[in-house]
Chain A
């Protein structure tokens, strides 16, 4: 079994700002361990000659020319904001939570 225990899940949940109950933590610890084990089987299939990849298609250098395209108006940008002021998003004061 992969080394994903309940504390790891609780830690990740906290980092991801997800509230999880004790039952959920228990269940998720077991499920994540199985998932990680399953994924791990890929590295058994791939030999040393197969480099790790982060993208399924061997593409490189997909670039855009430095030309200005469309923008939103401030009204459009803020249309989904829970709160705004002076054409800016209004958020609670946050310190030491980064």
Chain B
């Protein structure tokens, strides 16, 4: 595989002005598929969530899922779109094994939602408006696994295995208008935009919005033009960039690659690019050609969807608090400072902290764990914090163990490492690693008796009111328990034993 030349990002920015565009596919979390009553469930045994409609058998008829329509309208409304009074589905014809019907049922010239916008907040608080061209409904394709070859990628595969469980899962594709004026903040904007869309659909409850499961998938279009020129350059479309970090990296890489191509005097080829997370580069997919002649025509087996204004208003009334307003409320509820809150938002752990608080932690404990322990580890592991493998329940369990004096903060950090290393639950790791603070009063009392007996003069001083002398006894107990005692509890017990109130 040849590697492409790239310019440094700074040099690319000096010479060229990037124009972006995004197609974000959102998988809806309806119970059933878009056109069939087969279950829409992730992770089941292959080819068990299918029926005759999903497999494209002859003579079958699709029937539209009403909930999917309502979810799509909600997405449209949340993106400040107009909702079409009437719209249709079409057939997009192509041959590929992930599409058993040999066409995808998709909206084409009549999307259900159009002409919207989304205000996206960048890391420093700057708000950038992204115009939404359309949000249309379609169905997902089956999942291909490429077998043989060296890499498991499509290149060099010997054959492919197809699971149609995902075929027919409802999708909403959100398409932006060309995004101009982002300049050197283009990669950051790309990440922020996809994060904002993910946040909206999650907040609406219409999608599970897990990028690692492909619930939200992004195709990123990038083109460059010399500064001051109005006409757009030729774009590339990087497919299936499936994490927020990858979106940022892919846009940055494509800007650098385009800049090198343009500098060499060659034209950029309009093509699909494949993103490779391991090398953080893209490689050429297929060139756009007449293979993209999809011969759309209106789906004859489906009738138009008419969204009455009453229905749209009913749905609008059910919309939850928009994320920007939610953030304002959470900040007030949690009592974080501006800086603390912005750090939390930028670290991408707002949902995680909210879940952790809901699971029983205080706002300050939740922040301490996510910002102090987990975000840093995620950075090292180079993944989004939410994908590191720590959930709210684990954080709550850890903090409870600390609060109960079972483990101290240092031990808790080691237990977290154990959780991430897959050693089991915090409880199990404490056991296995022998990390527990000795808090069973029995052994402590024995050690205290021994320490008091060893230093009777100190014991007398404490009895006489010189409580500060207690350090020597506590030290003796800590030594006897090899540091595994909870010093605070030891102190309490000593005072109790000697009948002294501190």
Contacts and interface: CB of A to CB of B under 8 A. Distances in A.
Interface of A: 11-12, 15, 17, 54-55, 57, 59-74, 77-78, 85-98
A74 B165 CA distance: 10
Contacts of A12: 295
9 contacts: A65-B66, A66-B65, A66-B68, A72-B50, A78-B47, A85-B161, A93-B157, A98-B96, A98-B286
B63 A93 contact: no
Contact of A67 (B37, B68, B295, B299): B37
Nearest to B39: A68
Given A77-B55, A78-B47, A90-B159, A67 B64 contact: no
Contacts of B295: 12, 15
A85 B65 CA distance: 32
B45 A74 contact: yes
A54 B395 CA distance: 56
A94 B97 contact: yes
Contact of A64 (B66, B96, B163, B286): B66
A88 B299 contact: no
A78 B50 CA distance: 11
A60 B304 contact: yes
B31 A60 contact: no
B8 interface: no
A98 B102 CA distance: 10
A90 B95 contact: no
B159 A93 contact: yes
Contact of B37 (A60, A68, A86, A90): A68
Given A15-B293, A66-B66, A54 B88 contact: yes
Given A55-B300, A87-B45, A98-B96, A71 B38 contact: yes
A45 B49 CA distance: 47
Contacts of A59: 303
B177 interface: no
Nearest to A65: B66
A73 B148 CA distance: 27
Interface in B74-109: 86, 88, 93-97
Sort chain B's interface into a size bin: 35 or more
Contact of B159 (A64, A77, A92): A92
A71 B49 contact: yes
A72 B167 CA distance: 14
A28 B63 CA distance: 35
Given A63-B69, A66-B68, A77-B164, A71 B95 contact: no
B298 interface: yes
A18 to B, nearest CB: 11
Interface string B55-76: 1000000011111110000000
A55 B47 contact: no
Given A54-B299, A89-B162, A98-B94, A67 B32 contact: yes
A13 B3 CA distance: 37
A92 B293 CA distance: 23
A60 B291 contact: no
Contacts of B97: 89, 91, 94
B146 interface: yes
Contact of B32 (A69, A72, A73, A87): A69
A97 B96 contact: yes
B323 to A, nearest CB: 25
Nearest to A96: B286
